[in-house]
Every structure is written in structure tokens, then in C-alpha cells.
């Protein structure tokens, strides 16, 4: 009887076997692997989503600024506004390194506040400037002259708006079609609308994205455009 009780007590004190430990370790490793894969997948999705949201937010803000600039175009030929010409020879912005996207144009999009002495009229142009070294993309840059009647040569304000741009174009609507050339000194008027297109650089291994297009109607009506509209309505 004593020998039997001793055997029972000895069997009660026995721990896990090596096989049980190996199975538990394997199950734990599988669970940890699943948790790690799920966590890093969710983290990658979170980072990708936030990067895409930030890119779209910057693009939307840039297009909004372009829309406001073109919507505020001033009548050509004035003391402050000058002519609206696509020819680079008419540019007053010297010393700007980059690929020109738009001509110089005077717009009423300037901010009026108590910290600067300028009015809402300002001269604006858009350029594509080189991005960081080793990148195949460019940066859309906005160049602004606030002082239109300087006593001495004014220094423009350069603002980098949107990095990662592959190409940018601007077209002008003359009432019948789109053209990349405009000279208000010849036409004596402004285009009826402006189309601004931006193409972002494609990520490695990804297809090229579709261009983002912005069409801004120009609400400025000159005497010439009124005459042309009247002739068109009369069928002349």
C-alpha cells in the first residue's frame, strides 16, 4: 500500500514532456507570426493611406491656388497689368531657373493685410524647377512680384508648391478651340478659359498616373470680345 501511494505522488509531480513543449512553442510562434504580419500590414496600409491623402491635399491646394490666380486675371494693356503674352521675351522675371509653364500675368489674387504695403494686384508666373538630385521629377514653383511699381529692381517671391511633378502645361480657349499661344496685344482680349494640366511622376514599378486638369473660365470681357460675341450672335 505504501509503495502504491509513493508511485501516485511521484506521477503527480511530473512536468510537461519535451514533445508538449515543442508543440506549444510551435503554436506560439505561428500566433506571433500571424500577429506580426497583420500588424505590419495594417501599419503599411496606414502609412500608404496617409501619404496618399497628404499628396492629394497638396495637389488640391495647388490647383486651388492656380484657379484663384487665373480667375483674377486683369484687363490687358493697363499701367499695372501690361499684356498677356506667352512669349518668353515679354517676361519681366529674370534670374528664375526652371522650365516656364505659364506666361507672366497680373492677377488680383494678392492678399491684403496690415503687414505689407501692396494691393491685391500682383504679377505671377509658374515654373517647373529641378527637384532633389537623383529624382526624375520636378517641383511646381510659383513666382510672385508684389510691387508692380518698384523704384528699384524688386526681388520675386518663390514658393515651391508641389513636388513630384513630371509635366505641366497650360492651354488657352479662344472660343473655338484650345491653343498654347496667346498674345493680348494682337487679340486685344483675354482667353475665354484657361486649362492647366499637371502630370505627377509615376512611382517605381507603377503605371503613369492620369493628368489632373483644371479649367478656369475667365470672366473678364473686353470691348473686342463683346464685338466678337455680337458678330457671332448676328451670324457675321
d(CA 66, CA 209): 20
Beta bridge partners of 165: 138, 200
pLDDT of amino acid 94: 57
Structure confidence at residue 171 as a pLDDT band (50, 70, 90): very high
pLDDT of amino acid 143: 92
Q: Taking Cα atoms as reference points, which of 154, 129, 130, 158 lies closest to residue 143? A: 158
pLDDT of amino acid 223: 66
d(CA 169, CA 101): 6
Q: Taking Cα atoms as reference points, which of 101, 140, 139, 142 lies closest to residue 124? A: 142
Q: Determine how β-strand 178-179 pairs with β-strand 193-200.
A: unpaired
Percent of the chain with pLDDT over 90: 31
Query: Residue 29 half-sphere exposure, CB side, CA atoms within 13 Å?
Result: 6
d(CA 105, CA 163): 23
> What value does the mean pLDDT take over residues 120-145?
86
pLDDT in tens, 173-212: 988 899 999 998 888 888 999 999 999 988 877 888 889 9
pLDDT of amino acid 70: 94
Entry pTM: 0.73
> What value does the mean pLDDT take over residues 62-68?
94
> What value does the mean pLDDT take over residues 130-134?
70
Q: What is the rounded average pLDDT for all residues in the chain?
A: 82
pLDDT in tens, 96-115: 678 899 999 999 998 887 77
pLDDT of amino acid 125: 93
> What value does the mean pLDDT take over residues 14-39?
86
d(CA 228, CA 175): 10
Calculate ∠ Cα 213-101-93, nearest 5°: 145
> What value does the mean pLDDT take over residues 43-65?
88
pLDDT of amino acid 75: 85
- Residue 222 pLDDT exceeds 70: no
What are the residue boundaries of the structural domains of the chain, listed by start?
50-234
- Residue 16 pLDDT exceeds 90: no
Which residues neighbour 88 within 8 Å (Cβ) at sequence distance 6 or greater?
Answer: 100, 103
d(CA 85, CA 98): 18
Amino acid at each position: 500500500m505504501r509503495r502504491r501511494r509513493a508511485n501516485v505522488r511521484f506521477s503527480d509531480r511530473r512536468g510537461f514532456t519535451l514533445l508538449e513543449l515543442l508543440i506549444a512553442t510551435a503554436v506560439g510562434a505561428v500566433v506571433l507570426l500571424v500577429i506580426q504580419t497583420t500588424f505590419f500590414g495594417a501599419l503599411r496600409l496606414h502609412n500608404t493611406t496617409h501619404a496618399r491623402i497628404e499628396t492629394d491635399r497638396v495637389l488640391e491646394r495647388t490647383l486651388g491656388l492656380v484657379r484663384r490666380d487665373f480667375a483674377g486675371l486683369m484687363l490687358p494693356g493697363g499701367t499695372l497689368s501690361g499684356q498677356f503674352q506667352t512669349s518668353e521675351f515679354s517676361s519681366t522675371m529674370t534670374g528664375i531657373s526652371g522650365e516656364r509653364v505659364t506666361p507672366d500675368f497680373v492677377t488680383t489674387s494678392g492678399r491684403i493685410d496690415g503687414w505689407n504695403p501692396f494691393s491685391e494686384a500682383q504679377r505671377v508666373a509658374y515654373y517647373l524647377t529641378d527637384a532633389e538630385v537623383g529624382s526624375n521629377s520636378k517641383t511646381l514653383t510659383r513666382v510672385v512680384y508684389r510691387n508692380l511699381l518698384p523704384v528699384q529692381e524688386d526681388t520675386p517671391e518663390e514658393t515651391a508648391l508641389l513636388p513630384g511633378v513630371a509635366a505641366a502645361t497650360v492651354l488657352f480657349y479662344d472660343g473655338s478651340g484650345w491653343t498654347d499661344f496667346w498674345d493680348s496685344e494682337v487679340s486685344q482680349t483675354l482667353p475665354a478659359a484657361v486649362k492647366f494640366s499637371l502630370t505627377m511622376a509615376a512611382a517605381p514599378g507603377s503605371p503613369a498616373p492620369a493628368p489632373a486638369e483644371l479649367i478656369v473660365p475667365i470672366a473678364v470681357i473686353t470691348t473686342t470680345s463683346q464685338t466678337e460675341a455680337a458678330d457671332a450672335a448676328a451670324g457675321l
